[in-house]
Structure 1
Amino acid sequence: MPASVSSPPPRRLPFGLLALAGLFVAAGVFHFLRPRPFVRIVPPLLPVPKALVYLSGAAEIGLGLLLLPRRTRRVAAWGLVALLLAVFPANVYMARLPGGGVGAPQWLLWARLPLQLPLMLWAWRYTRPGKQV
């Protein structure tokens, strides 16, 4: 009887990576399902707000999915860090609007701004070679 050749079992993706990917994919999908609140927070000096909302939603979905394969993980993680930096002005603009344009409490809008940093650090974690799993 020939010896069976077994391949190593597939590696499971860590929960943190799956959660980060899921968070961005879900957020991106909402840009398409409910674009109006996102359009309202695009700073007025930027052109074509709806197109920017769809573009950022597509980037969130694409980069979230690209986190999953090992070969694209680092680039996707850097892309998410850059995306979070790029949308930060919209989050500041939102915090300055009464109710954020979405009826949210003002204190909550300001309190969520520092949360961008942990999100960036979470994505940055997967830019390092040792975190490619």
Structure 2
Amino acid sequence: MAPSPTSHRLLAGLLAGASVAHVANPGLFDSMVPRALPGSPRTWTYASAAAELALAAGVALPRTRRPAALAAAAFFVGVLPANVKMAYDWRDRGPALRAAAIARLPLQVPLVLWAYGVARKAEAR
């Protein structure tokens, strides 16, 4: 399925929205940071927010769209361990929360493919 003409705008919006969510509710995201990472979870949460905002800006601009979309695809792969940790940590929560945490895992695949599709379309121009 080819990306729509507005696909890059939607991807940029998703990334910008995720950035805002990280800053607005850092505690939720702090708890997802794998313990193996050095430093404070809050530092990783804010670094992730900054990266998402930079990726959003890059995807929004035609000149940087291709490399930013490829970086977004890599970013979506890179945050998979946080989603795995969340699914593991939420294994004893209620059914709805447990299902939401587990559902995040396969959602990384379409996000990666979406970002890659935006990059390919930018390359074709």
- Fold similarity call, TM over 0.5: yes
Identical pairs, percent: 41
Alignment of 1:4-43 (within 5 A): 14-43=5-34
Partner of 1:96: 88
Larger helix fraction of residues: 2
Higher relative contact order (CA 8 A, sep 6+): 2
Question: 2:33 & 2:92 partners in 1: Cα distance?
Answer: 11
Matched, 1:105 2:97: yes
Q: In the TM superposition, what is the alpha-carbon distance from 1:52 to its structure 2 partner?
A: 0.7
Aligned residues of 2:59 and 2:68 also touching (Cα < 8 A): yes
CA root-mean-square deviation: 2.1
- For these two proteins, the number of residue pairs brought into alignment is 118
Over residues 45-86 of structure 1, what are the superposed CA-to-partner deviations in whole Å (9 max), with x where a residue is unaligned?
Answer: 112211111011111011011111111001100110111111
Give unpaired runs (5+ residues) of structure 2.
none
Give unpaired runs (5+ residues) of structure 1.
1-12
Instruction: Name the TM-score, length of structure 2 as normaliser.
Output: 0.85
Q: In the TM superposition, what is the alpha-carbon distance from 1:98 to its structure 2 partner?
A: 2.5
Over residues 79-114 of structure 1, what are the superposed CA-to-partner deviations in whole Å (9 max), with x where a residue is unaligned?
Answer: 10111111100000000013688x962122112211
Instruction: Name the TM-score, length of structure 1 as normaliser.
Output: 0.81
2:73 to 81, 92, 110: 81
Alpha-carbon distance change, 56 to 19 in structure 1, aligned in 2, over 3 angstroms? same
The 4+ residue runs of structure 1 with deviation greater than 6 A are none
Question: 1:60 & 1:98 partners in 2: Cα distance?
Answer: 24
Aligned residues of 1:41 and 1:100 also touching (Cα < 8 A): no
